[in-house]
A and B are shown apart, each in its own frame.
Chain A
């Protein structure tokens, strides 16, 4: 289309809106299903789908009408006529007949309009910055603010500050909002029976052995360990250390989530409050997200303004990436470039997660089986995907049957196929268990030795505790790195096994 530059609603704009809505809608349905239950999820998805279908229809009609020579056939008139009945009919079907929750349906329906609004705002911003509408870098409109005329202007700084202040002013309302939804949502699906299960922490540095070990003190994370090990976490609340049999007595350092929970309960927030529950239950995810944000910031900062003579940050990141690249190249050879994004992400992510547990106030998400299982599951899927795409479906099956190439080999297929399949499934299990066991053992060891700090005080008549866990922290630094390396190395080897062996 010969787009009028002053007209913000052109063909590309509509396509962008469509793509963004599809992506956001899918993400949203995932989250809504996870957090609010299946029915709201279906409602949301239906809302997004109806709005999208309507939008695509509109797009189709507009493309035909707004041409230099409009195509006005019976099809277009039929589409125009069908539009309103379609929308009303589908809303009626979804809400009236299928009884989907109206709130979630309308939220999903309005997603498209929110996207349109935000995209239009982004365009306005771009034209203000003197960029043409058709700029392929449109998605980066906010980032563009800095590039045309150097650093951010004072006006945008003030605007950003106001935005942050506004958001933080709204934040105290969030618990109430979440708690409101909580009534309906959290009690339905996908929650563990004994949800908060805030067991009492072994608060290192203070004497937690004493009589103050009760429900309101230092809520800790033992519940996760207890859940993961299938132990019953029911009696955890309000009981002290003396009921050790309830939560497996796996010790952890208190972390940020523990502190937040502690402060919040001191400040009078109920332990049943939705956001607290969410935070405690998805503690590992919280730390994962922190780490992901850290990596995103570091890598984008390091790769934004690349210089021939690198600065400190760029140099560090380049060194790390290059070393890993060379290391993987020893195994994958010329295929390295294709697989290094996955392998590199895996390595640095696991490494970061392992080291996180050594920073006071943080914990290693890898000390929790779900995290490592998810990582290993991703690896498994990626390896199988590699096999299917690189070897072809038949080649993949051939590989799974033990690559037979003589009559004896073919005769062995019924025996080899199940064996190989079991072997493939054993890979992620062993990967995840190895990482989980190592990191959890390490963290538990540190926490155990940290509790000995206080034990030494009365026994030896010391006035200051001896930080007995410090030597083990160096050991943990080393072991964490090795475990991250081992996980990555094995993933690399699994991938290399799935590649065509023509060069051997």
Chain B
């Protein structure tokens, strides 16, 4: 029975991580889009830094995802 708790917790944890990360990604992209709209000539530079930021934010979900796979064997 105690195993089932893990089965509940893993997807829930991953979902939570995805939720937070999604909010972060949304904020980052919206900020970048606004900046690009205001300064189209700087679009290239903004895009590069946006992608870097996105990669860092998204990595958090990936860590949760990897954790799920690590613990999946115990399910």
Contacts and interface: CB of A to CB of B under 8 A. Distances in A.
Interface stretch (A154-162, A182-190, A244-252, A257-265): A244-252
Q: Which DSSP category, helix, strand, loop or mixed, fits chain B's interface? A: helix
Contacts of A249: 72
Interface stretch (B19-27, B28-36, B44-52): B44-52
B55 interface: yes
Contacts of A331: 48
B62 interface: yes
Given A250-B72, A330-B44, A433 B52 contact: no
Contact of B73 (A245, A330, A433, A485): A245
Interface of A is mostly: helix
A437 B51 contact: no
Interface string A226-241: 1001111000000000
Interface size class of B (residues with CB under 8 A): 10 to 19
A105 interface: no
Given A330-B48, A489-B48, A434 B55 contact: yes
Contact of B69 (A232, A440, A493): A440
Contacts of B55: 434, 486, 489-490
Contacts of A440: 69
Interface in B35-60: 44-45, 48, 51-52, 54-55, 58-59
A66 interface: no
Contacts of A230: 70, 73
A430 B69 contact: no
A124 to B, nearest CB: 55
A485 B48 CA distance: 10
A434 B65 CA distance: 10
Contacts of A330: 44-45, 48
Given A226-B73, A330-B44, A434 B59 contact: yes
Contact of A434 (B62, B70, B72): B62
A170 B42 CA distance: 62
B66 interface: yes
A248 B51 contact: no
Interface of A: 225-226, 229-232, 245, 247-250, 330-331, 430, 433-434, 436-438, 440-441, 482, 485-486, 489-490, 493
Closest 3 CB pairs of A and B: A437-B62, A231-B73, A486-B55
21 contacts: A225-B69, A229-B69, A229-B72, A232-B73, A245-B75, A247-B73, A248-B73, A249-B72, A330-B44, A330-B45, A330-B48, A331-B48, A433-B59, A433-B62, A433-B63, A436-B66, A437-B66, A441-B65, A486-B54, A486-B55, A489-B51
Given A229-B72, A230-B70, 13 more contacts: A232-B73, A247-B73, A248-B73, A330-B48, A430-B59, A433-B66, A434-B58, A437-B65, A485-B51, A486-B51, A486-B52, A489-B48, A489-B55
